[in-house]
Amino acid sequence: MPLVKPVLELQILAAFQKMSNSRTDMATAQQELAKELAAAIDSYIKSATVTVTTTSGAGTGIIS
């Protein structure tokens, strides 16, 4: 699947909105935000399909 930037943007926005509604102290809120952003970016990157074409005659492959 190709990377879909608007999905990542929505996940990042949701993380910021969740933190702005948080009633925790600043350090905890920052740690939670970092976790939310890391999860969004990890999910975004793992949603990519990478196609590799070899020149050795072995054909093509998809790395997931």
Cα-Cα-Cα-Cα dihedral sign, residues 46, 50, 56, 58: positive
Write down the pLDDT at residue 6.
94
Residue-by-residue pLDDT tens, the chain, 64 positions: 678 899 999 999 999 999 888 788 989 999 999 999 999 999 999 988 877 777 765 555 555 5
For the chain, the domains span: 5-63
pLDDT at 63: 58
Give backbone dihedrals phi and psi of 50, rounded to 5 degrees, phi first: -110, 125
Phi/psi of residue 61, nearest 5 degrees = -145, 160
- Tokens 């993380």, located at residue: 15
